Every structure is written in C-alpha cells, then in structure tokens.
Amino acid sequence: MTDEEWLDERTVDVTIDSPAMGTGQPVRLIVPPGWDTETDAARTWPVLYLLHGGRDDYTSWTRETDVAELSARNQVIIAMPEGGRAGNYSDWYNYGRGGAPRWETFHLEEVWQVLRDRYGAGERRAVAGISSGGYGAVIYAARNPGMFTAAASYSGLLTPRTELSWTLLKAVMRNEGLDPYAMWGFPGLHEDVWRAHDPVAQAEGLRGTDLYLSSGTTGRPGDLDGDQGYGNSLGLGEAMCGSSLQTMRRVLDLHDIPATVHLYRRGTHSWPYWQRELHTSWPMLMDSLGAEDTHPEQA
C-alpha cells in the first residue's frame, strides 16, 4: 500500500503499489460501522467486492448508488477496486508474453493481501458487478471455485465468445485505444485462453457458489428511465446482455447448478436498474457472507 485517504469516517481511498499492473492502482473501501482494527486486532470482517463497468472507474459505485447507506447495517467491508476502462477483468495474454495488465491477479491477490493485512478482512468474500463488472464477478467465481461464497451479475455480458459479443468488446476496446487481440489472443487460434475466460465454458466452477444473475431482455425504456429515453448503446447493449444471460441460465440448468435469475423485459443498461438489483440481491449476498445485521428489527 502506498497511500491512504479517508473521505469520511467509513470511506477510504487506498492506492496499492501493484506489481501485477506495473503501477499504483486505486481501491475505494467502505468499512462497517464501528470498524477498528487497533482496539480488536483479532476481529475480522467478510468482504464484498463490487466491480465497475466499462468506461468507468472505482468511484462509480459510491457515485451512482446508495451502497454506503445500504451497507451501514451490516458488518461487512465493501471493496471497489479499479478495473480499467476496458480491462475486462483478465490477466491479459499479450500474444503469449503475459505481463501487465493483470487485473485478476491485482484484484484477487494484491488487493486481498492489503485487505487482510491492513483492514481486517476475514476468509469469506463475495463478488458482484455491473456490465463488464458483472462478467468479472461470474468469471472470477468460475475460475476460482470456492473462493467466493456468492457472485452477482447485473447486466453482465456472459457469452464473450459469440460473434456479436466479440464485436461489441472489440469496439469498446478500440475506442479506448487498446488492442483487443492482446487480451485473449485470436478467437479459434488461442481457443484455450478464450475458453478459460468464458463463463459458459467454466460454468462447472460455479457449483457451490450462491448466484444472482439479472438483466433486461429488450433494452426498451422501463419505469426507472424517466423522460431521458435511451440511446442505441443503452438499448442494444442491454438486449445483448439479456440474451447472454438466457444462454448462461440454460448452461447452469444443464449442469444442475442453482441460480436466482431475474430477467425483466423493460429497462436500459443503466444505473437505476443496477441499484434496484443490488438491493434485491443484498440479503442473499449478506447471508452468504454471514455478515452480521446490526439492525435486524428494520428488516
């Protein structure tokens, strides 16, 4: 850890000197009420990772949702790491050379070490994310069986190997000035790398993990869109995520892996729906972590 800045009594921005990334990377944490590692050095807390979407950053969850207020009743640490504007929650292949960016290593090893050493993280952790962060939540859980008690994806694109999904991923990455083929190599030619990062192919790794998966299916405006309407990216993108979730649900059913799936017809690829889904899945996430509810009478 190279820097720590407290924004309020529960929120702290931490910069981690990351060998996996080759540079310092930020993480925003929300600690539970009464958190104090000095008074009770033996106490630990479960951790919920919240992963942001593409073309955004680690501040998005506190900027766009009420997660600080929502988590105030639970004894849980919320970790919101930087994931890059188009990092896709992967250790990049880089045409076989490896090296930075290594987002998975940063999140699951380096961030975790800081959480344990400095902030009292215990052994139980769950993960949730929106959009590409929803993909990240599912693939992290699938690639690391047993690491997470629960995983939640809100409008995640869970079928990256389809032609339409790859077309979208390429467009986003090129828009950010990145080489899309540096991430997982070329489809077909580097099939082992692609399969290793495909939630459908890695579905068996999700066995035993509590799952909450949600998405809109049409991308058409719903009751949370107000008068703003939607652009093509908000509509088409959400419809693609909904289609990918339906595929993922069929695969999970074939593997006899239980999941709570919420598909809704109307709703764009936007924060009002993800805030709603966070609230809906919150009890499951907290139950899986065994995160103490300090105000059960308000339930």
Model pLDDT for residues 270-279, shown as the tens digit of each residue? 999 999 999 9
Q: Is 106 part of any domain?
A: yes
Domain residue limits at 262? 3-293
* Closest CA relative to residue 248, chosen from 191, 204, 199, 210: 199
Residue 112 to residue 44: CA distance in whole angstroms: 13
In CATH, what number is assigned to the domain containing residue 220? 3.40.50.1820
- Residue 18 belongs to a domain: yes
- Give Cβ neighbours of residue 8 (< 8 Å, ≥ 6 apart): none
pLDDT at 236: 79
- Give the pLDDT confidence score for residue 292 in this predicted structure: 80
- Taking the chain (299 residues) in consecutive chunks of 10 residues, what is each chunk's mean pLDDT? 92 98 99 89 95 98 99 98 99 98 99 97 98 99 99 98 96 97 98 99 99 97 78 74 99 99 96 98 99 72
Residue 89 domain-assigned (yes or no): yes
Q: Please give the Cα distance from 174 to 157 (Å, whole number).
A: 18
**Is 269 a domain residue?**
yes
Q: What per-residue string of b and e applies to 118-144 under the rule 16 or more CB within 10 Å gives b?
A: ebbbbebbbbbbbbbbbbbbbbbbbbe
The pLDDT tens digits for 233-256 are 566 799 999 999 999 999 999 999
The pLDDT value given to residue 1: 66
Evaluate whether residue 299 is within a structural domain. Answer: no
Number of domains into which the chain is organized: 1
Q: Does a structural domain hold residue 41? A: yes
Q: Do residues 78 and 298 lie in contact, with contact meaning Cβ atoms separated by under 8 Å?
A: no
